[in-house]
Structure 1
Amino acid sequence: MSDMLHLDSLEHLTRPSVADQVFDALRAKILALDLPPSTKLSEVDVARQMGVSRQPVRDAFYRLSKLGFISIRPQRSTTVSQISTNAVMQARFIRAAIEAQTVRVACDKLTPADHAALRDLLDLQRAAMTAKDPLAFHALDDQFHRDLCERAGCGFAWEIIRENKSHMDRVRFLSLSFASQDAFGDHVAILDAIEARDAASAMSHMQLHLGRIRIQIERIRADNQSYFATEVPCIPDS
């Protein structure tokens, strides 16, 4: 008997599974508020509408619940979670601490080729902003932050951020109707500082960029009270 390990092709392994596709579709609808907070979800209904079995839907629901996008109460109901202001502020706190250090490292490590690739990404952000396409802009915004981490050799940092930012994502998406120009300008300023290898400036601009959500969330809550959970603030505003 051969001891050789037989593996499927890489192409097969990297194709998204049905559960991945269901997860991606539901996450996009929750993020864009096509499925707003408190919307009830049913495995049976989602499976029927998407033309899949219930198992991949169940898997997607579990993943979404771990990220904080949905709330599953066994034998009762599954609903899209309300936005937690505390969770938003926790994510901002984590991101500000991690990403400030990431751009400090980026100032030393990024090459001219990295700078050029990030400039191309900013061009795509500008085009999405001009086209008034918030979903595309949000995806490119995420890509900018992820690419900064990865190009600085800190991909692990983005994994920590990604697992903690679901509530923040929805607030950021809601803010794009009035704050996309500020977000884009911040990205330009961050990259300018990185290219100049000015770590203090890069860190300051990143802190400013991620700190804007503290003001934006008040405006968004005033216009969308039903989207937010009622809770006692417990995160230091720093």
Structure 2
Amino acid sequence: MTQDMPLISLDRTARPAIADLVYGELHKQVLNLDLKPGEKLSEAEIAKRFEVSRQPVRDAFYRLSKMGFLLIRPQRATLVSLISTRAVMQAQFIRIALEAEAVRHAATRLTAADIQALEGLIAEQAAAKDAGDKLRFHAADDAFHREICLRAGLEFTWDLIAENKGHMDRVRMLSLAFSSQTAWDDHIALTRALADRDPDGTAEIMRAHLSRIHEQLIRIRAEHEAYFEDDDPSEASLPLGLREKRMP
């Protein structure tokens, strides 16, 4: 674990559960790669730094492990999980399958007020992009996708996505160093298609938007090889539906 990680003073005034506070801070640090893939974590050391007992840390560790961010090894050190190329592509496959249909559904149901709410999130992304704040941009990006599902009456869709996108999130965070403008442009195009009530157009834009991570993954893995597992990043490791989509 990074030795110079500062002591974290948790804000208890809002009265959320301590485990939620610990989880939120650790989740942010893993996503930001302040806690790097392969790094060792100690319950006792984290509890000391957060000035809490070990139980809320244990609870936070468990939640992060279910998201694919931590590898808990009984009687041994807990590790920040390496990024799995296969898991990233599986998450992409799930997202395309669910979100392409979600926006198709949304295109016939969203109101002018719904579109205005999406435009507000796009404006938030623009502000984060201009400020170079990747964590804020990522949060607004997630909120944009989630809001479409919620306003289309498909909240369960986002719940399924959230359960499967842990490895994908870290690749997305790393990609924002060079892809935030493209992601923002895609969201503008998607919102326009939703406003035009174009189911086929919105589905195609969403597929293209979520498919960008494949090329981004190749670049990021080349630049950060130590962050990744040794699974095969070749075409053969992609889900069948994605391999067929990419065939000439």
TM-score (norm 1): 0.93
SS of match in other structure, 1:79: strand
Q: Distance in 2 between matches of 1:40 and 1:195?
A: 47
Q: For residues 15 and 92 of structure 1, do their structure 2 counterparts lie closer, same or farther at Cα, with a shift above 3 Å needed?
A: farther
Percent of pairs with identical residues: 54
Q: How many residues align?
A: 225
1:181 CA displacement: 0.3
1:193 matches 2:193: yes
Structure 2 equivalent of residue 17 of structure 1: 17
Q: Deviations over 1:42-76 (max 9, x none)?
A: 00000000011000000000111111100011011
Tell me by how many angstroms 1:15 deviates: 4.8
Residue 175 of structure 2 is aligned to residue 205 of structure 1: no
The corresponding residue for 1:216 is 216
CA RMSD of aligned residues (A): 1.1
Instruction: Provide the secondary structure at the position in 1 that maps to 2:79.
Output: strand
AA aligned opposite 2:83 = I
Distance (Å, rounded) in 2 between the aligned partners of 1:174 and 1:16? 30
- Give the match for residue 72 of structure 2: 72
How far off its partner does 1:235 sit? 2.6
Alignment match, 1:147: 147
What letter is aligned with 1:235? Answer: L
2:137 maps to: 137
Q: Match of 2:179?
A: 179
Q: Give the distance between the partners of 2:137 and 2:195, measured in 1 at CA.
A: 23
Q: Deviations over 1:87-132 (max 9, x none)?
A: 0000000000100000011111110000111111111110110011
What is the Cα deviation at residue 16 of structure 1?
2.4
Specify every segment of 5 or more residues in structure 2 that has no aligned partner in the other structure, as ranges. 1-13
Is the aligned partner of 1:31 residue 2:34?
A: no
Cα distance, 1:231 vs structure 2: 1.4
Structure 1: gaps spanning 5 or more residues: 1-13
Question: Partner of 2:59 in structure 1?
Answer: 59
2:220 equivalent to 1:235:
no
